[in-house]
Amino acid sequence: MDKSILVLDKGTRCTAWNYSGERLVAGLIDGSFAIYDSTDPASSNLTCTHRFKAHNCSIVKVVWAPPEYGDAVACITEDGNLSLWEEVVDDTEGPHWKMCKCFDRNTSQVLDVQFGYGQTCLKLVAAYSDGQVKIHELLDTLELEKWQLQAEFQNVIDLVSKFGNVSCLSASISWNPERIEVRQSSFVLGFNSNTPSLNSAKVWEFDLDHQRWLPVAELSLPEDKDDQVSSVAWAPNIGRPYELIAVATQKGISIWQLGSNPDHDGRLSVHRVALLSAHDNEVWEMEWDMSGMTLATTGSDGVVRLWQSNLNGAWHEQAVLAPPS
Amino acid sequence: MEHNPPQVHKFPQDSYVDALRWLPQLSTFSRHVLLASYDSETSTPSLQTLTFSPSETAPSLTPQASAPAPSRITSLKISPSPLSPSRALIASATFSGSLLFLSADLINGSLDLEFSLPELGFHSGPVSAIDLNDSGSECVSVGEDGCVNLVSLSVSKGFRRVYDSKGLVSYSSVKWASPVEFVTGAFGFGLHWWDQRKPGGPVALFKDDWTKGSASGIVHSIDIHSSRKHTCVAGGSSGVVFAWDIRRPKQPVMLSGVGIGNAPAYSAVESDIWEVHYDNYTHSSKMSSSSSSTILPAMICSEDGILAVIEQGEEPTELLAEPCAINNFDIDRENPSDVICSLEWESLAILTRRRA
Amino acid sequence: MPGVTSDSGEFNSLSIVPHSLETQTPRVYPLRTRRAAPPFGRVSISWARGNTLRVSLLQPEGADSDGEVVEVNLTNAEGGEIPEAQRRRIAYGSVTPFALLQSRKNPMDELQYDKTWWVHVMEYSNEIKSLLGASKSYITPTIEDPKALLKDVEEPTSLKAAWELMELFYADKQSQTWIPERLLDWLADFDCLLSATQPTFHARLVSFQKALVTIQEVENYPEYWEVMSSALAVGWLDIVVKMLRLHGSYQLDQLGTREIESGLVEAVALLISQMPRLRPHISDEKLGECYSTKPEFMKAWEKWRTQITKLDCHPYWLQCDHKQTRVGLKNMIQIMLGNANVLSNATYHWIELYISHLLYIRPFTVGLESMYTLAQKCMHLKPITNQHKLMGLLIGILEENTEVVLAECSRSFGPWMITHAVELLTAGSAQAEMLLHEEQSKIGGICIEELHRLIYAQILSSHALTWNIAPIYLTSCMKQGLGLLENLLYKQPVQHHQVLLKSIEICRLNGIDYVSRHMMKIAGVHYWKHGKKGSAVFWLQQAQDEVRLNRIAKHLFDFVGKSVSDESFKQWEGMIELLGTESKTAGGLEFLKRYRDFRRSLQQVQDGITTDDARKTSEALISLMKNPSTPQQFWLHLLYDSLRLLNWKDHPLLNVSQTNLLLNKLQELSLARLLPGYVDADLPPEAFKSVRRALATNLGRAILEE
């Protein structure tokens, strides 16, 4: 069953649903935010409850913070700025949105940003156009104003090498959605850049003993290492003995299995279980469902595709959702 | 009476019942029910009156009139309006923070909005509970926002803020005790007694002293019996039901509850008690034996699907045990043997109790 | 058209359920929009509750139209045959039987299991069946109107038909000896479902029923005889006999002239109503003589056949003048004698032919022996381009191919069906049980039974009214149920009071406190940020989130009136009530409570009290000042308000070490005042000095006293 639930304002560039699917934030071309809320619990009637100008240039990406930190979004603008906005009520005013943080940057632009889940302190990872990855940590659980830079590195397996003159068009980050706090936090990251060794998707894990981030796996076949990555998505794991990560390059969508036990080098075993060709090989977005069984993807062909493994472990396209042409 | 189970009839609905009430009775053969329901497919909340035709074998419940609601209904109260029993006054509070007053014409089958208080400035966020006084001239409302408002229905229709806790307290329930007094229930099993003659805040506070650590909870429902205005019975989290006598504010009487301090041996339920009402039917059948110091029997409905009558020092009498939650119920004022309740799984049940 | 094929291409037949069958190219489902039209600048996706996918269609820069969000529900596979509300009712109703059956599995030992398990399964199956619709037989002749061959009853659903198929073949051990008769009954109930798209006898009967009202001298019409032959072929004996009674020779005025004819009709009718049936019982309105054992049945059958042959050769036929009657009755005799050609002509759908074969050509068939070959033969004789989904299921069953049965169940009838019907399947087939319970490494180490339960639970999660029954199914999933339950709960909009309470209850029942704490934390922060401080503190306390509570305490203390004379402190009473008697969970906020108590006793000092009470109050002061959770900004206030205690007339209330402690605190405070960022208390400028003087005096007096 399909139904249209909302007509978005003209000039909407990006949208994001909050954790419960009851709020939608839209970023507009004029630098405004529009917030849509469902009118009742369980209702799919949405109304615009806030609309305000946040920036002077177009908003290109919005991401919700985990709900245990409030109703907050991180936002990337077209000129590469990263800021945090939060809905609050204070003594003088009812619910309103305020900017709580604008992250400093040098000349490079922020390409993607994602919040980590379930850690005792909130982490935010941002990928920059110069190939840098920065991880910020929230200092105070109740105030989204105070952050500190926890780490900064490039997306390379060999930690020693440094690349200058890097120019990245896009980046994609996906945290391990595991919420149990005892587990090490980890995420996967891939670039679309002019520097081959930065591109391939790599899994980063925080090494508690040495307080540093380490690359624990590289999700590409030897012959595909230079492929530019357009999107990555880490599947929720409800009890599989391995992790599933989808990586999209111009060659298609690869589904990777990631083992859980590190070898003596601290690397995790990886195994590509499928290469799926779709969307004219230009993938925009990928998202796993709540059980990690179905992958939804969109791309430049303008349709939504749903992918699933059958009982024999073979991945295939299950359905195509096509807007009217 | 325990050996004479009530007659139960179920009426599946195609929508979720948020609240319900019996409407005043016009004749023995035609009874009316008011429902606040929510159609999940179209996301539309509405109020409707239904005609109930009792019958041993095939009772029926047919829609009579309906009115749209701006948002889902959180609380529903009725004033019998003694002067014209065929026109009942209805107060309904909404999730979006507004309050609607409707009149139901049971003879001509209409349900009309009389006036409403818009959300803006009334309550911010959901109205938790309301109560209409007996004469139908005043309605008190409380909210999660910590405001207590008094709506006058007499001449100048408007509201007056009795108290604004500035969010420091969230109220969950309210009940009139007398024309000038009411009781509110809050988080942490707190009860506040208010007297309009002494403005500025509650005149008495009750705070449980039986909970240990995290076992605290919320008062979901309060009832006060017209014959004993100093005692209120409250039901809430963890199956807790207790009576609080304003004259002995430090000595609550526990009627039910699990794993809580001096809880009685009998506990009907372990989960939330959603609604509690004094049960005149059970009371009248035992009138002779009850002294003025015992707590009157009360009926409860619960999250784990129990509809039961609890009495001080006695084992609870279960009227209904459902696999899903019983969200609300109402005892017919004129026919206290009849009880209507709404089940979580989109259906209604009407019970008729019979004397042994 | 609902329920035509297993994969109709309709949007409402879209479901995403893995199975093992060969997959064809993916189907394309059109998304209906209000305004948005391609090309799109961006298509954004997000999974909402359960299997709900939200698609944002965003226009490219400079486009004139608006973007749009479309919600797609990937849930129903059974083709929209059953309305939403009805489907929810089925979902609600199946919870209790399912849970009961699961609970019975555990304590059963192996031996008992084999013997009595199917009894429990049948009990379960009957409960489920009652949810799927009234169980009235479709064809019931009424006494009132001799011409009413069909009774109007509620249209049955394919879902119910499928359930009954599964039940009769797998779960019902008692039906194993008379499966052909069970199948006959089944077809009588559900042939109408096939009529929607395929030629069936039922459709023919319906149209004849319409015509019958106007027909006189019915025996002259060929349709009359055709319909009767068909009814006989598929074993609807009651209808045949009823129709025979419409024969003109029964008319009172005809009795004299058409004796022979009438006699023949009656003879055939009698034979038909005496037909031996290999079944233990038959409902009152149905005809035939029941035999529950095969030898008895065979004996009766031989006898019955002899009688038919005898009638067939009877010379009376020559004396029958009415040609239609003669031919028609003879044809019926051929059916009863099992003439394959006649049977084929008398039936429409292959399943009808199949039933007729089982009845008249292979009456002694017991169990599933060679039933599949016969089905293939019948399908070959009556080919159908567009197989009904029920037939797909039936073929899978006859073929004894569990994988096909599973795939047909889930593909055509949806996750509800497969999840619940698995119980029937495993009760009846050891092979199925193995297949369903074997852990599959290819799907992450779970078994197929669990997979289907997970999928069904995910579908229940898609709806705001059914999500809370998903946990029942998830708790029966040993490996991944808990993981999915956690994910389900983490997505609940817990800022809504009712949803939060419901979620907490689910956590309580499943013993997952860490999840409920997480949800209470989310709610607490939400309320805190939205100005509902009381609720925030309550939920954070319930969540035992000491970190945030301490943080909140620090924030709140800035607003608490710090002077005893400050009337605004009253408003904090409500919040303090919340904190409860146990200090552990309140974190730093606990100070508020102790501060309140101290203020109260200090108030009494102001009002004039005995030395004893004053001493108690000063003890309270010391304990407050000692406590590390007492915020620094309160120190000077506390001391200044206690000046009367420090200067107590009769004798000093504080001993030397207590006075020293307070002096140290004062010292600490004076150092802090030098630091940047220190906000000076709104006290009279001499406050610090007077406290110091009082303490010094007190110290002197205390030394003297000791």
| pLDDT value at C275 more than 90 | yes
Please report the pLDDT score of residue C177 as a whole number.
82
Contact between C49 and A21 using a beta-carbon 8 Å cutoff: yes
Cross-strand partners of A307: A295, A317
- Chain C residues within an 8 Å CB radius of B144: 497, 527, 532, 535
CA torsion through residues B340, B342, B346, B349, sign: negative
Task: Quote the pLDDT of residue C10.
Answer: 41
- Hey, are the CB atoms on C16 and A306 less than 8 Å from each other? yes
Residue C141: pLDDT above 50? no
The pLDDT value recorded for residue C301 is 95
- Alpha carbon of C200 to those of C191, C196, C412: distances in Å? 7, 9, 21
Of C96, C530, C573, the CB nearest to B205: C573
The single-letter code of the amino acid at A38 is S
Return the ∠ at Cα C667 (arms to C661 and C668), rounded to 5°. 90
Q: Which residue of A has its CA nearest to B72?
A: A40
Q: Which of B182, B183, B144, B180 is nearest to B164 (CA)?
A: B144
Q: Which of A16-20, B62-66, C334-338, C600-604 has the lowest mean pLDDT?
A: C600-604
Q: Could you give the CA distance from residue C6 to residue C27 in angstroms, rounded to a whole number? A: 13
H or E segment and range at residue B160? strand B158-164
Instruction: Please tell me the predicted confidence (pLDDT) of residue C16.
Output: 54
For the ranges A90-99, A230-239, C148-157, C627-636, the lowest mean pLDDT is seen at C148-157
Rg from Cα positions in chain A: 20
Answer whether A325 sits within 8 Å of C461, measured CB to CB. no
Q: What percent of chain C has pLDDT over 90?
A: 40
Contact check, Cβ <8 Å, B43/A40:
yes
Write out residues 512-571 of C within 8 Å (CB-CB) of B: 527, 530-535, 538, 541-542, 544, 570-571
- Which of C544, C581, C597 is the best substitution to test chain B (most B C-beta atoms within 10 A)? C581
> Which pair of structure tokens corresponds to residue C347?
């039936």
Instruction: Please state at what angle helix C402-428 crosses helix C448-461, rounded to 10 degrees.
Output: 100
> Which tokens is A228 given?
């530019």
Give the model's pLDDT for residue B189: 82
Contact A228, A220 (CB under 8 A): no
- Look at chain A and count its residues: 325
Q: Chains contacting A with at least 3 CB pairs below 8 Å?
A: B, C
Strand partners, A148: A137
The tokens for C28 are 């394309």
The answer to whether A44 contacts chain B (CB < 8 Å) is yes
Residue C675 has pLDDT above 80, yes or no: no
Give chain C positions within 8 Å (CB) of B169.
Answer: 534, 574-575, 577-578
Of C55, C75, C480, the CB nearest to A304: C55
Split at pLDDT 50, 70, 90, the class of C12 is very low
Residue C593 carries which DSSP code? H
Instruction: Output the pLDDT for position B26.
Output: 79
Residue C584 has pLDDT above 60, yes or no: no
Rounded to an integer, the average pLDDT of B26-48 is 90
Rg over alpha carbons for chain C, rounded to the nearest Å, is 42
Give yes or no for residue C7 having a pLDDT over 60. Answer: no
> In 3D, which of A146, A10, A129 has the Cα closest to residue A81?
A129
B46 pairs with which residues across the strands? B37, B68
| Confidence class for position C561, pLDDT limits 50, 70, 90 | low
Residue C580 has pLDDT above 70, yes or no: no
> How distant is the Cα of A158 from the closest Cα of chain C, in angstroms?
32
Mutation target for A interface from B43, B123, B346: give the one with most A CBs within 10 A.
B43
One-letter amino acid of B40: S
- Range name among A123-132, C16-25, C606-615 with the lowest pLDDT average: C16-25
Q: Above 80 in pLDDT, residue C240?
A: yes
Return the residue in B207, B214, B302, B326 with the most chain C beta carbons within 10 A, the one to mutate for interface testing: B214
**Residues of B whose CB is below 8 A from A42:** 38, 40, 43
Show residues of chain B in contact with C535, CB under 8 Å: 144, 167, 170, 187
Cis peptide before B24 (omega within 30 of 0): no
Per-residue pLDDT, averaged over B82-107, amounts to: 88
Burial of B297 (0-12, 13-18, 19+ CB in 10 A): buried
Checking if the pLDDT of B310 tops 50, the result is yes
What's residue B258's pLDDT?
64
| Chain C residues lying within 8 Å of B12, measured CB to CB | 89
Structure tokens at C299: 């004996």
Count CB atoms within 10 A of the CB of residue A67: 23
CA dihedral of residues A233, A234, A239, A241 (deg, nearest 10) = 110
| Amino acid sitting at position C101 | L
Which residue in the block uniquely carries the two structure tokens 């995790």? Answer: A268
- Residue A215: φ, ψ to 5°: -75, 125
Chain B residues with beta carbon closer than 8 angstroms to that of A96: none
**Lowest mean pLDDT: which of B218-232, C49-63, C99-113, C264-278?**
C99-113
Residues whose CB is less than 8 angstroms from the CB of residue A213 and which lie 6 or more positions away in sequence, other chains included: A135, A151, A153, A204, A205, A206, A207
Task: State the Cα–Cα distance between residues C477 and C446, nearest whole angstrom.
Answer: 9
pLDDT tops 50 at residue C142: no
Report how far residue B23's alpha carbon sits from residue B25's, in angstroms, rounded to the nearest whole number. 6
Residues 6+ apart with CB under 8 A from C496: A41
Q: What whole-number distance in Å separates Cα of residue A40 and Cα of residue C498?
A: 12
Q: What is the mean pLDDT of residues B54-77?
A: 92
| Cβ atoms A288, A246 nearer than 8 A | yes
Lowest mean pLDDT among A225-239, B114-128, B256-270: B256-270
Q: Smallest Cβ distance to A40: which of B95, B124, B166?
A: B95
User: Does C497 contact B144 at a Cβ distance shorter than 8 Å?
Assistant: yes
Instruction: Give residue-wise pLDDT tens across range B325-337.
Output: 999 999 998 889 9
A242/A259 Cα distance (integer angstroms): 5
Count residue pairs from A and C with Cβ separation < 8 A: 281
- With tokens 């999915």, the residue in question is C484
pLDDT at B294: 81
Q: Are C583 and C623 in contact (CB under 8 A)?
A: no
Nearest CA-CA partner of B244 in B301, B305, B173:
B173
Q: Which pLDDT score is estimated for A16?
A: 97
- Chain A residue nearest residue C466, CA to CA: A42
Taking only the tens place, the pLDDT of each residue in A184-209 is: 789 999 999 998 889 999 999 988 88
Residue C138: pLDDT band with limits 50, 70, 90:
very low
Distance, CA of C153 to CA of B7 (rounded, Å): 29
DSSP A215: E
**A166: pLDDT strictly greater than 70:** yes
- pLDDT (0 to 100) of residue C596: 81
pTM for the model: 0.91
- Quote the CA–CA distance of C163 and C555 in Å, as a whole number: 62
Alpha helices in C511-545 (DSSP H): 513-529, 533-542
C 171-210 → A contacts, CB under 8 A: none
Contacts of A252 (CB under 8 A, 6+ apart): A275, A276, A277, A278, A281
**What type of residue sits at position C496?**
H
In chain B, the residue whose alpha carbon lies closest to the alpha carbon of C571 is B165
Q: CB count, 10 Å around CB of B37?
A: 25
Q: Indicate whether B260 pLDDT > 60.
A: no
Helical (H) or strand (E) element with C660: helix C656-674
- Interface contact flag, A310 C20, Cβ < 8 Å: yes
How distant is the Cα of A42 from the closest Cα of chain B, in angstroms?
Answer: 7
Tell me the pLDDT tens digit for each residue of A231-248.
999 999 999 999 999 999
User: Binning pLDDT at 50, 70 and 90, where does residue C612 land?
Assistant: confident
* Residue B265 banded pLDDT, cuts 50, 70, 90: low
Q: Which residue of B has its CA nearest to A1?
A: B41
Q: What sign does the CA torsion over B206, B209, B213, B219 have?
A: negative
How many angstroms from the chain centroid is the CA of residue B318? 19
Tokens of C236: 């609807």
**Other CB atoms within 10 Å distance of the CB of residue C151:** 14
